[in-house]
Amino acid sequence: MSPKDGRHEIDARSGRPLDGGREALEALSDDELEKELTVAAYAPGLLRINRYQRLLGERQRRRPVFT
């Protein structure tokens, strides 16, 4: 989202919203989310750890909780 005008950035190739230059987590399909998790799990660095944690949170949000 652009801080100046409140609009979301859009990926020119996919037409999906961007979050910090990457596809917004909500815009990813379940398969894409799992692929992103795999990439983030094996990539080094603090930025990847933060992305991995956000991806895990998104996966948990999408899956229903069974008690």
Assessment of whether the complete model's pTM goes beyond 0.85: no
pLDDT of residue 30: 92
pLDDT of residue 60: 92
Q: What distance lies between CA 18 and its chain's CA centroid? A: 9
- Tell me the three state secondary structure of residue 17: strand
Asked whether the beta carbons of 10 and 18 are under 8 A apart, the reply is: yes
Read off the pLDDT of each residue in 2-22 and give the average, rounded to a whole number. Answer: 62
Backbone angles phi, psi at 6, to 5 degrees: 75, 10
Q: Is the pLDDT confidence value at 59 over 90?
A: yes
Q: Residue ranges of the domains in the chain?
A: 28-62
